[in-house]
Amino acid sequence: MVRLTRSVKTSGCAAKLPSKTLNEILSSLPLMEDENLIVGFETSDDALVYDLDGENLLVESVDFFPPVADEPYEFGQVAAANALSDLYAMGAVPKLAMNIMCFPSCMDLSIMKDILLGAQDKAREAGCVIAGGHTIADSTIKFGLAVTGFTTKKRLWTNKSAREGDVIVITKKLGVGIINTAAKAEMADECDVKAALESMKTLNKKAFETACLYDIHAATDITGFSLLGHLYEMAEAASLSVRLDSSSLPYFSASPELARLGLIPEGAYHNRDYIEDKVHFASSVPREITDIMFDPQTSGPLCLAMSEDDALSFVREFGEPAAIIGCFTARGGSVIDVS
Amino acid sequence: MNMLDTSGFSCPEPVIMTKKALKDRPASLDVIVDNVASRENVTRYAEATGYSVKRTDKDGKWILSLTR
């Protein structure tokens, strides 16, 4: 059997181009404008948002990457859960999707079929229809979805509208990038790999539906740019700072030891390089925990900003592994302060 | 002196190569790395397994001298 993760150099969202490189290019492009375009490139949000009629909004995003699971069906599930998550992070319900597939012409076509089936089943679970796509021959597999969905002006969540005093909730454990890297090196326990895979396959649908019961001020999902990269974008967009309590972070128990052994994805170093000077770590924060905070996540958690009362109720309602990890404060010395 | 060249390989490959090279616990090993992630990860692996690491810059690459 072909082990899909062996056929590629990088896996999942760790394959993203570094933020620094991407921002240099994007900021040099002229902005395209349309009076109905509410969210575009400018705030590095999770999806574009287009005003359909003054009330209803169309939300659209695309995400694809190299295999992060060895089983084709499971890779399809993870890729779909990851792509659908961008819409949940905007407060939108995904409705339509298209496949994007790069596939080696010499590879067994049943692998492609299983990837597509995995994605289809995950989309069905989300109530979303995959209705087309595009495939090209390439040297390595890459797969994902372009997803379209809908929300209303009242329920649109962007990454830029956090308020001073909001607390930050995340809804999945962190550290999957480190476990995926260890799995590639055959240095991870099977049960840890399985737990990470289950987390990546889990839709952010329940997190979205639970969040709909509360007044969400800002939201994003944590993916390739890591917890700190995405929080930095939220803080910058709202001109606030973030205070994080590292002892409250939910993460896979194997991740710190695997980080200590040097099984850290290259993307984590790019993330660190990009924003390390904006982050202050208390000397009591172990290096391995900082690694987890820079670790690129694939199909990671929703990250929600809301009042403290709502957050406490959300965490009770959602249950494990949701956790309150910090808060937004008035802009101080560092953009992010980790204790 | 044992020498391992990981140039051209990306993570986690250099760590896997280092792990294999240290299997018989040599007293020393020089590892050439050509990118920051490999440099940091190989350093961590070596330190976590009881080696001390000295780093030298060389022509845009690094030589990590591992000793125990």
**Percent of chain A scoring above 70 in pLDDT:** 97
Give residue limits of the domains in chain A: 4-155, 167-338
- Is the Cβ of B8 closer than 8 Å to some Cβ of chain A? no
- Interface contact B15-A265, CB threshold 8 A: no
- Interface contact B37-A185, CB threshold 8 A: no
**Which residues, 6+ apart, have CB-to-CB distance to A95 below 8 Å?**
A127, A128, A129, A148, A149, A150
- pLDDT over 90 at A31, yes or no: no
Residue A29: pLDDT band with limits 50, 70, 90: confident
Would you tell me how many other CB atoms lie within 10 Å of the CB of residue A214?
Answer: 17
- pLDDT value, residue A1: 64
Give the β-pairing of A279-281 and A336-338. parallel
- Is the Cβ of B6 closer than 8 Å to some Cβ of chain A? no
Which residue in A13, A128, A303, A327 is the catalytic one?
Answer: A13
- pLDDT over 90 at A132, yes or no: yes
> Higher pLDDT residue, A145 or B58?
A145
- pLDDT over 90 at A148, yes or no: yes
From B36, B37, B44, residue closest to A261, measured CB to CB: B44
Give the β-pairing of A48-51 and A37-39. antiparallel
- Is the Cβ of B35 closer than 8 Å to some Cβ of chain A? yes
Residue A43: pLDDT band with limits 50, 70, 90: low
Nearest chain A residue (CA) to B47: A261
- pLDDT value, residue A28: 87
Write down the ipTM of this complex.
Answer: 0.95
Contacts of A263 in chain B (CB under 8 A): 11-12, 15, 41
Q: Report the C-alpha dihedral over residues A219, A223, A229, A231, rounded to 10 degrees.
A: 20
Q: The whole model's pTM is what? A: 0.93
**Per-residue three-class SS string for A12-74:** HHHHCCCHHHHHHHHHHCCCCCCCCEEECHHHCCCCEEEECCCCEEEEEEEEEECCCCCCHHH
Residues A299-319: tens digit of each pLDDT: 999 999 999 999 999 999 999
> Domain A167-338 maps to which CATH number in 3.90.650.10, 2.130.10.10, 3.30.2320.80, 3.30.70.2700?
3.90.650.10
Residues A63-120: tens digit of each pLDDT: 999 999 999 999 999 999 999 999 999 999 999 999 999 999 999 999 999 999 999 9
- Is the Cβ of B66 closer than 8 Å to some Cβ of chain A? no
- Is the Cβ of A263 closer than 8 Å to some Cβ of chain B? yes
Q: Which two tokens stand for residue A257?
A: 């030891």
Q: How many A×B Cβ pairs under 8 Å?
A: 52
What φ, ψ does residue A166 adopt, rounded to 5°?
A: -60, 145
- Interface contact A262-B45, CB threshold 8 A: yes
- Interface contact A261-B43, CB threshold 8 A: no
- CATH code of residue B48: 3.30.110.40
Active site (annotated) includes residue A13: yes
- pLDDT over 90 at A174, yes or no: yes
- pLDDT value, residue B1: 66
What's the structural domain count of chain B? 1
Q: Report the C-alpha dihedral over residues B20, B24, B29, B35, rounded to 10 degrees.
A: 20
Q: Which of A38-52, A158-172, B13-27 has the lowest mean pLDDT?
A: A38-52
Specify whether the CB–CB gap between A202 and A226 falls below 8 A: no
Residues A253-271: tens digit of each pLDDT: 999 999 999 999 999 999 9
- pLDDT over 90 at A32, yes or no: no
| CATH architecture entry for A4-155 | 2-Layer Sandwich (3.30)
Chosen from B6, B41, B42, B43 to mutate, greatest number of chain A CBs within 10 A: B41
Q: Could you tell me the residue range of the domain that residue B55 belongs to?
A: 3-67
- pLDDT value, residue A12: 67
- pLDDT value, residue B29: 96
Residues B26-43: tens digit of each pLDDT: 999 999 999 999 999 999
- pLDDT over 70 at A14, yes or no: no
